[in-house]
Amino acid sequence: VHLFGASLGGFLAQKFAEYTHKSPRVQSLILCNSFSDTSIFNQTWTANSFWLMPAFMLKKIVLGNFASGPLDPEMADGIDFMVDRLESLGQSELASRLTLNCQNSYVEPHKIRDIPVTIMDVFDQSALSTEAKEEMYKLYPNARRAHLKTGGNFPYLCRSAEVNLYIQIHLLQFHGTRYAAIDPSMVSAEELEVQKISLHTSNEQEEQ
């Protein structure tokens, strides 16, 4: 399989690839705003206490990582959507996710070094520190990098067109093989190349 994971999902995708390395299940990874070591959050000492906290307190912890202040409409809509999803989670679900996020754990890169990886991150504000991003680059020196100028914590929601394009570019290397994730008749290499040029031109115009 090809796995796309954002934040904690990206960390769990790496761990799944690591645990199955002797009988490989993962063909490639796309890691969006993700991390490789939970110690970056400096909350490993509180991980075992989340089960004792009420739901409203756990939601407050999660919401503390959401961007505040003026945002463009698409980013604001993305945050609103995630807040709605957060409200639908119960105490046990929130506690389990926060525990996974903060329990002392790290990825062992030597077990997944042969897996093609694309690291996707944003240049604007997100929950990940610059140090955490740099650590990912060091962990996967041969990984492809997909940078988005903006997108915050949820680029897959508010910058979905760009994220989808980067996913297609990542999967292009598997076209014509048994690991192809898309029917070749659905998208051609020429079409992807045109989209890449269009995205590059658009980014240059924004910078000017």
CATH topology of domain 2-37+106-207: Rossmann fold (3.40.50)
3-state secondary structure of 117: strand
Claim: this prediction has a pTM higher than 0.75:
yes
Asked whether residue 181 carries a pLDDT value surpassing 90, the answer given is no
In sequence order, the 6+-apart residues with CB closer than 8 A to the CB of 204 are none
pLDDT confidence tier of residue 105, bands split at 50, 70 and 90:
confident
Percentage of the chain beyond pLDDT 70 is 84
Does residue 39 surpass a pLDDT of 90?
A: no
Q: What is the predicted pLDDT for the residue at 203?
A: 60
**How do the domains of the chain map onto residue ranges?**
2-37+106-207, 46-102
* Strand positions, DSSP E, the chain: 2-6, 28-32, 117-122, 144-148
Confidence of residue 198 (pLDDT cuts 50, 70, 90): low
- 172 band by pLDDT with thresholds 50, 70 and 90: confident
Question: Average pLDDT for residues 9-16, to the nearest whole number?
Answer: 91
Return the pLDDT at 200.
64
> What mean pLDDT is predicted for residues 85-100?
88
